[in-house]
Structure 1
C-alpha cells in the first residue's frame, strides 16, 4: 500500500507528466496549415518538429546541475516555468517566436523528463519500474490531448496561435500544484557527478546500448508526433481526421505504458518484451502508411501499443539497469541527453525527404529500417545487467 506522501507524489507526477508531450503533439495536426499560412517549407517544418527534441536532448544533461543548485523539487518547478513561457512565446506574432518558443519548450521537457525518473527512484524505490508505467501513461495522455484537441482549439479560439498558446494553462496548473504540494526532504538534490564519474559511466557499453535504444525508439515517437498527421493528409485524410487518428494511436499507448513494466517484471531479461513492442510499432506504421485505408484503426492501435510499450520500457531500463537513485539520475541525464539528441534527427530527416519529393512508401521503409536497428540494440540493453558503484568503483553485474 502507498502512504499518503507517496500518493501525493504520484498525483503530482501525473500532473507534471501530462505537460511533457502536448508541446510537440499539438503542432503536428496543424503542420499542413502552418505550411500554408506561415509559409513554411517542408524542410522548415521539419526543423520546427526537430527543435523541441534537439533542445530536449541538449538540456537533459544539465538537469543534475540545476538540481544540485536548487534542489530537485525546485528544479522541476523551474522547468515548468520555462515550459509555460515557451508555450506562450511560440504563439506570439513576433519574428522567430514559433521556433524560439518551441526550443524553450523542448528545453523544459528535457529538464523535467530527466528529473522525474530520479525522483521516482528516490520516492518509491521498490515500485519504481511500475510507477514509471503510470508516468508514461500520463505522458501518453498528454500527447493524445495535444493531438486530438489541437484542431478543435484552433477552430474554437480563432487561430493556430491561440491554440498553441492555450497549452500554457496546463503547464501553469501543474506548476501551482507542484509548488504548493511538492514533496520536501533533506538533501533532495540529484548529486551532480564528477567528470571522472561521467567518463566511467560512458565507458560502460551498457550505457551506450540503453542510450542508443532510447534514441532510436524516441526518434520514431517524434516522427509520429511531428509528421504522422501530415503523412496521413498526404494519403487523403482530412486535417481533423488525421489528428484524431494520431490521438487514438496515442490513447492506445496508455494500455501498453501500464502493462509493459509488468511484462518486463516477469523475468530479469527484458529482451522479449523490447522486441515485441518494436514489432508492434513496425506493423502499425505499415498498416497506417501503406495498407488500404480501411486498416487505419488496427494500424493506429498497433502503433500505439508498440510505441507506448517501447517508451515505458526505455524509461524502465533507467531504473532496472541501475542500483540506486544517484546512478539512476546520472544515467537518466546521459541517456536522455544523448538519446534525444539522436532522436531529433528523425523528424528533420523526414522533412528533408519530403522536400526532396520522397514517397510515403519510401519514408515508411526508412522508418521500419530504423526500428530494425533499434531492435538490435534492444538485444544488448535488455539483458539482466545492472550498473553499481560499490566501494567507489563503477561495475556491471547480474542481479
Structure 2
C-alpha cells in the first residue's frame, strides 16, 4: 500500500469513529473556519502602516517598535506546544472559541491609552492567534479529509484578504478618527466578536465530537524531535514567518525611505498581501494533488528572491513588481507549510502535534526578525543589510523546502 493510500486509510478510520455532521452543519463549520482565519493576521498587519505614528506618539525607538510585531511571534512560540493538549482536554471547537475570545481581549486592551496596555494587549492577542494557528489545520484534516486542499485554500485566502484590507485602511482610519492609530488597531475587535458569536454553536457541537479519538492509527506515538522531516517543516515554517513578519513591519518604512508617502506605502503593503491571495488558494490545491511539492517550493522561493532583489531599485515600477513577487512568495510559502502539516502526517492528532512543534520553534526563530531589522536600521541608517538578509533567507527557504516537499510522512 502506498504512503498516500495509507494516509487516506488512516483518515477514513479516524473519521468513521466520529459522529457525522449534516451538510448544513458542515457549511456553518466552514464559515467558522473562514471567519477565524480572518482574525489571524489582520490585528498584526494593521500595525505596520501606522508604526511611525505609534513611535512618534509614544516616544519609543525603532527597536521597541519592532517588538510590537515580535511579541505575537513570541506568544506563538510559547503557546503553540500547549494547543494540542488544550484540544485534547476541552475539545477542538471549544479551544478555538477560547482562542477568539483571547484575541478579542487583546485587541481591546491594546487600544487603551497606555503604552503598557499596548504591549500587553499585543502579547495577549498573540496567544489567541497561536491556538488558531495550530488547531485549524488539524480541524481541516479531521472534518474535510477529501477536500483538504480546497478548504486550506479558502482558509488561507480569508487570512490574506483581511490582512491586506487591514494594511490598506490603517492609515485612512487613523487619519479620519480622533483616536488616531488606536482606532486602526482597535476596530478589528468587531471581526473577532463576530467569530465568537459564530463559534458558540460550534463549541456546543464540539462536546459531541472530540478531536482525539482512540484508533489503531494513533497507538504508536511519533517522535517528532528525532524526525529530520519534522525539523525541515519546522525550519520552513520559521523562515517563511521571519520573512513575512519583518516585511509587514518594515516594508512601509523601506518604501518611505524611497520617497513613497505613508498612505502609498500602506497601500503597497496591502497590494503585497492582496496579490498573495490567488497563490494562497491555488497552491494548496496543487499541493494536495501532487505527491511531491519540491517544484512548488522552488517557484515560491524564486519569487521571494527576485522580489526582494527588486526592492534595491528606485524605479517605482520595478519596486511595485518586487512587492508583488514578494507577496506571491509569501502567500505560497504560508500555504505550503500549512499543507505540510497535513500531507507529511497520517492523522489529525499527528497533524496537530507537528503543527504545534513547527509553530513553536518556527515562530521562536521568527520572533527576533522585526526587532533585529529595527536594530539594524538604527545602526546602519538604511535598509540595505536587512534586504540582503531577506534574500539570504529566501535561499535557505528553498533548501529546506526541497527537503520538506518530498513525498513521505514523519511516521
TM-score (norm 1): 0.92
Of the candidates 13, 25, 39, which is equivalent to residue 45 of structure 2? Answer: 25
Distance 2:146 2:188 in 1: 34
Q: Once the two structures are superposed, what CA deviation does each residue of 1:186-225 show, in whole Å capped at 9, x if it has no partner?
A: 3414479x9x947x11111110000001110111111112
Q: Which residue of 2 aligns with 1:209?
A: 232
- 8 Å CA contact 1:90–1:98 kept in 2: the answer is yes
Of the candidates 264, 270, 279, which is equivalent to residue 256 of structure 1? Answer: 279
Q: Which residue of 2 aligns with 1:125?
A: 145
Distance 2:379 2:177 in 1: 35
Q: Once the two structures are superposed, what CA deviation does each residue of 1:258-302 show, in whole Å capped at 9, x if it has no partner?
A: 111233245311011011111112222222343522223322221
Distance 1:203 1:294 in 2: 47
User: Unmatched 5+ residue regions in structure 1?
Assistant: 388-394
Number of matched residues? 384
Distance 2:72 2:55 in 1: 18
Q: Which residue of 2 aligns with 1:49?
A: 69
Q: Which residue of 2 aligns with 1:61?
A: 81
1:124 to partner: Cα distance:
0.4
CA RMSD of superposed structures (Å): 1.9
- 8 Å CA contact 1:17–1:135 kept in 2: the answer is yes
Distance 1:155 1:365 in 2: 34
Distance 1:350 1:362 in 2: 9
Q: Once the two structures are superposed, what CA deviation does each residue of 1:153-202 show, in whole Å capped at 9, x if it has no partner?
A: 1122221112211111111111111113555363414479x9x947x111
Distance 1:327 1:168 in 2: 32
Distance 2:283 2:305 in 1: 17
Question: 1:1-399 residue pairs with structure 2 within 5 A?
Answer: 3-158=23-178, 159-181=180-202, 183-184=205-206, 186-190=208-212, 197=221, 200-387=223-410, 395=411
Q: 1:266 to 1:181 in 2, by over 3 A?
A: closer
- 8 Å CA contact 1:228–1:246 kept in 2: the answer is yes
Q: Which residue of 1 aligns with 2:12?
A: none
Q: Once the two structures are superposed, what CA deviation does each residue of 1:360-385 show, in whole Å capped at 9, x if it has no partner?
A: 22221111001111111111111000
Q: 1:229 to 1:217 in 2, by over 3 A?
A: same
Q: Which residue of 2 aligns with 1:390?
A: none
TM-score (norm 2): 0.89
User: Unmatched 5+ residue regions in structure 2?
Assistant: 1-21
- 8 Å CA contact 2:92–2:206 kept in 1: the answer is no
